[in-house]
Copies of this chain bind each other. A is one copy, B any other.
Amino acid sequence: MSKQDRTPEQHNKKMKKIKSAMDKRIAAADEDRGVVVLITGNGKGKSSSGFGMVIRALGHGMKAGVVQFIKQADSCGEQLYLAEREPNLQQYAMDTGFTWDTQDKEGDIAAAEKTWAHAEQLLADPEIQLVLLDELTYMISYSYLDVDKIVDAVVNRPLHQNVVITGRGASEELIEISDTVSEVKEIKHAFAAGVKAQKGVEF
């Protein structure tokens, strides 16, 4: 059942269920456990923050995985950088033709599902110590992926695995399953002043 089809009672019940699963996880783990970090909001710096944490993990010799929703493979510097150099990193990007204007909703959903399958594999692998799900939030806001499926995979991941989720407009369920939530607010943006997107900064 997608989020949109729920009655308020069903929604409350669902949120309580998420909370209870989270409480169980926290109780089982004492204080040394993997965390979920959610970086949302409309300001600049969300994806780069996620990639910074990937580098942080790799720097400590950990294994990490990146799944990029929306962004194409080879389109951004961090992806290029890591693809060339990093045996400890698994990367996958949804580059099968996501269309922002949803001229092909069926195609978009198929691409989202295919991309999510890679995320699920990473979220089930205890060898992977950090998983970045870049721009995942949009898959929920567009109802391209079922939020329950995402919640289940994240809550039931290996105990010491860390997850970083980025994207605007995070849903209530994502906030609930996250240990740390930052909202990046746009105070000023160079685009508004007519400055071109700068390679190395914006992509």
Give residues in A with beta carbon < 8 Å to B.
26, 31-35, 37, 39, 41, 43-53, 55-60, 62, 64, 76-82, 85, 129-130, 162, 164, 175, 178-190, 193-196, 198-201, 203
Contact = CB atoms under 8 A, between A and B. Distances in A.
- Dominant secondary structure of chain A at its interface with chain B: mixed
Contact of A182 (B52, B162, B175, B186): B186
Nearest to A34: B198
Contact of A198 (B35, B85, B190, B195): B35
Contact of A51 (B52, B175, B188): B52
A49 B39 CA distance: 10
B44 A48 contact: no
Given A175-B188, A183-B185, A77 B48 contact: no
A194 B37 contact: no
10 contacts: A26-B193, A35-B190, A37-B45, A45-B52, A47-B52, A56-B76, A58-B77, A59-B79, A130-B200, A181-B189
Given A49-B48, A81-B58, A82-B55, A194 B31 contact: yes
A152 B45 CA distance: 25
Nearest to A48: B52
Contacts of A199: 57, 60, 62
A77 B49 contact: no
B77 A59 contact: yes
A162 B198 contact: yes
Given A31-B194, A182-B187, A49 B57 contact: no
B49 A200 contact: no
Contacts of A180: 44, 188-190
A32 B200 contact: no
Nearest to A40: B187
